[in-house]
Amino acid sequence: MNPFSSGTRLRDMIRAIRACKTAAEERAVVRKECAAIRAAINENDQDYRHRNLAKLMFIHMLGYPTHFGQMECLKLIASPGFPEKRIGYLGLMLLLDERQEVLMLVTNSVKQDLNHTNQYIVGLALCALGNICSAEMARDLAPEVERLLQFRDPNIRKKAALCSIRIIKKVPDLAENFINPVAALLKEKHHGVLITGIQLCTDLCKVSPEALEYFRKKCTDGLVRTLRDLVNSPYAPEYDIAGITDPFLHIRLLKLLRVLGQGDADASDAMNDILAQVATKTESNKNAGNAILYECVETIMSIEDNGGLRVLAINILGRFLSNRDNNIRYVALNMLMRAITVDAQAVQRHRATILECVKDSDASIRKRALELVYLLVNESNVKPLTKELVDYLEVSDQDFKGDLTAKICSIIEKFSPEKIWYIDQMLKVLTEAGNFVKDEVWHALVVVISNASDLHGYTVRALFRALQTTAEQESLVRVAVWCIGEYGDLLVNNAGMLNVEDPITVTESDAVDVVESAIKRHASDLTTKSMALIALLKLSSRFPSCSGRIKDIVVQHKGSLVLELQQRSLEFNSIIEKHQNIRSALVERMPVLDEASFGGRRASSLPNTVSTSNGTAVKLPNGVAKSSAAPLVDLLDLSDDVPAPSSSGGDFLQDLLGVDLAPATQSEGTSQAPKAGTDVLLDLLSIGSNPAQDNSVSTPDILSSAQDHKPAIASLDVLAAPSLTQASSSTASNMMDLLDGFAPAPPKPANNGPAYPSIVAFESSSLRLTFNFSKQPGNPQTTTISGTFTNLSSNVFTDFVFQAAVPKFLQLHLDPASGNSLPASGNGTITQSLKVTNSQHGKKPLVMRLRIAYKVDGKDVLEEGQINNFPRDL
């Protein structure tokens, strides 16, 4: 005999495992036991097979793998004795599930056991089959099970009935075979058989319309009678629970009646009386009685309309709702939610109570109640309901605030009667729970604010006040910073005061303080800080007296390790310092954001939220900005694999708000984002005035290169890494442009780089452009191109602007041109240097599209072309 398998008894093993003090000890014991069991399995040990399987089941419960024992179950099931089969079937149900192939091997044993002379063995097989049978087994064994529905012993009949439920759920085609035997079960007196038979009947009706029709006609009256007898039955100790005879049977009868009554007036009529009796006579002081009332209400609500019964049912729910027992209140909320489709008015009557449940100490009840309140909100009650919810937001648990905030925001958006109310409520939410507000929600708020031109002053002042009391809510800070940047002047001069407002005195310096504290606040993230920098830039123009101070704040970030901030700081500093002439145009107020396109975009990305389209969207024409930007955008759009530019409100917003490119907040595909960003900055830069030509050309590059760097929120050593050299160099020179305004002389072609022939890149009747190429040693991807423009005509070209665009695999940087007027007849040139980085170096040649605009005698001339004759290997 195997020295291992004779070892420990089940009881001893359990003791040994329980005595373990650490998980490691437990693992050791289990490993030893498993080794012994495996050895016994290998030796085909029979004497201890059932004990080993019992041990395995215990080990399985502890979470250890026990698949190697699966075949032992099969062997035990195949052995002749009851004890072996009993443990074998238990193991089968415990260690296997219906998806395992091994299960197919057991079909034959089960079939034999279903025909066994020992009824208890038949019972074991039925139970196992009911719990784990697969569709294949169901097909194979359905005839046996069907036959057992008429077995002499009721305990087998009831097991066969439940087993049949599993079979028809697995294979609905088999349903019709069960209709006749089930009709017989419904007439039984044995409660177990009746309960299981009714359940089987209910499930048959659900899978088979014929069955439903049959039982509706033949059995409705009988079932009503059975229920009546049960309700009126004298005390029966065997089935009594809390003074009610067999609530389980009650409930199943009510469920089946519901299925039969639904959609059939006659059947519904037949059960009206007994439903009324159950609804009025059932004791509701114990759980069992309430469980029956629950089922009764559900049935009344589902069957064909009977006004009187519905009133009864709604009253029961009202009683449930005011019950002190949390369980009862919970189910009441649940049922009211379903009842809302049947009788919304009746549910509205309980609004106050439901609202109280939102504030319950029990998370399950709160959650249910909140869902229900959400369904109850409509145009007429939105104001008081929102007030209640917002008030509660103040005191609610931290872990409930997320859900609550989302629901409140959704309600505000959906039902807001007017803009000022919307803004007020959103501000309250931001103040209480700004950290829980989703990005798209505060983005929507900004769009609404932008469109409410008469409320700009009111809003910015309200935000300023809110920020005085709490500065810890990120999204509040963001919205406030944005508004102060945009409407800072209205904050200071109290413009557009509403009657409801108290005047406040805010100095320009106070406004800057607020933005400064947002930037200095430790918890502020990149988006907030970036937005604050933009706001400061805007304020520097709105508040000239603070310009110096703002410059000091901005410049503090020039050493920031976050590239985004560093770059903004440098750029903005340069704008403040050196570009006074264009600054006011640059930082003009944002054009009104397009509500419709923002809403549409949101609606497509968030199917559940309804966009705010209350109030009329004032659409200011921002044509100047747009039209001057458009050519550039076109130019940049060289590659045709890029989706069409979408300058929807959302894109604008996102980019203007922060040029916020943190991947998490980017809802669009990344391929689109850079373009949108460009779009926006172009808008910004070109609003109103003709930007100086050197800036207008290099701007897109600045922005797009900034975006390219974004994923590697670059620390300095990353920038220094060889793979990014070309990137960093282009960034650096971008910055140089802005810092120094006008370009240094184009870099001299390096002597030691490989030489490339010069080309005539473009030639028309009036203009010639030649390119000279050079490369820095060690950086073969990047080519410095020196372009020389020559005027072939006899007229002077003024306002000369050269624009170029490249496909996506190239990166282009233009340095400022040497001038903007080109003397006639070749008596002088304009030079401009370009830097192109080819990410597909060696695989694809350079290609470039260009557009040259200039004026001849005050008339605009536009020339366009594509350069395909670059030397190979650039």
CB-nearer residue toward another protein: 204 or 632:
204
Nearest approach, Cβ of residue 522 and another protein (Å): 32
CB-nearer residue toward another protein: 170 or 558:
170
- If one counts every other C-beta atom within 10 angstroms of the C-beta of residue 379, the result is 10
CB-nearer residue toward another protein: 145 or 565:
145
Nearest approach, Cβ of residue 577 and another protein (Å): 57
CB-nearer residue toward another protein: 57 or 275:
57
CB-nearer residue toward another protein: 27 or 349:
27
Nearest approach, Cβ of residue 104 and another protein (Å): 15
**What's the Cα-to-Cα distance from 307 to each of 270, 280, 311, 459, rounded to whole Å?**
15, 15, 6, 51
Contact status, residue 164 vs residue 145, Cβ threshold 8 Å? yes
Secondary structure (H, E, C), 586-634: HCCCCCCCCHHHHHHHHHHHCCCCCCCCCCCCCCCCCHHHHHHHHHHHH
Residue with tokens 């007196």, as numbered in its chain: 189
CB-nearer residue toward another protein: 58 or 487:
58
Nearest approach, Cβ of residue 86 and another protein (Å): 7
Taking the C-alpha atoms of residue 170 and residue 135, their distance in angstroms, rounded to an integer, is: 5
Contact status, residue 98 vs residue 132, Cβ threshold 8 Å? yes
Nearest approach, Cβ of residue 240 and another protein (Å): 10
Contact status, residue 386 vs residue 358, Cβ threshold 8 Å? no
Contact status, residue 281 vs residue 231, Cβ threshold 8 Å? yes
Nearest approach, Cβ of residue 344 and another protein (Å): 19
For the chain, what percentages of helix, strand and coil (3-state, to nearest 5) are there? Answer: 65, 10, 30
Task: For residue 861, list its beta bridge partners.
Answer: 854
Nearest residue to 176 via CA among 207, 141, 138, 221:
207
CB-nearer residue toward another protein: 198 or 506:
198
CB-nearer residue toward another protein: 127 or 555:
127
Which DSSP category does 239 fall into?
Answer: T
DSSP tally for the chain: helices H, then strands E: 38, 10
Nearest approach, Cβ of residue 150 and another protein (Å): 18
Nearest approach, Cβ of residue 3 and another protein (Å): 20
Q: How many residues does the chain have?
A: 874
Order of strands across the sheet with 859-867? 797-805, 848-856, 859-867
Nearest approach, Cβ of residue 237 and another protein (Å): 9
Nearest residue to 56 via CA among 77, 26, 35:
35
CB-nearer residue toward another protein: 159 or 529:
159
Nearest approach, Cβ of residue 129 and another protein (Å): 9
CB-nearer residue toward another protein: 292 or 477:
292
Nearest approach, Cβ of residue 203 and another protein (Å): 9
CB-nearer residue toward another protein: 367 or 456:
367
Taking the C-alpha atoms of residue 874 and residue 871, their distance in angstroms, rounded to an integer, is: 6
User: What is the H or E stretch that residue 811 is in?
Assistant: strand 810-814
CB-nearer residue toward another protein: 399 or 717:
399
Taking the C-alpha atoms of residue 230 and residue 497, their distance in angstroms, rounded to an integer, is: 73
Nearest approach, Cβ of residue 741 and another protein (Å): 59
**What's the Cα-to-Cα distance from 514 to each of 473, 488, 511, 552, rounded to whole Å?**
14, 11, 5, 15
Contact status, residue 66 vs residue 59, Cβ threshold 8 Å? yes
Contact status, residue 354 vs residue 339, Cβ threshold 8 Å? no
Single-letter code of the amino acid located at 483: C
CB-nearer residue toward another protein: 288 or 814:
288
**CB neighbour class for 161 (10 Å; exposed up to 12, middle 13-18, buried from 19):** buried
Helical H runs in 494-616? 508-520, 526-542, 547-555, 563-578, 580-586, 595-605
Nearest approach, Cβ of residue 196 and another protein (Å): 6
| Dihedral-angle region of residue 263 (phi above 0 means left; psi in -120 to 50 means alpha; beta otherwise) | left
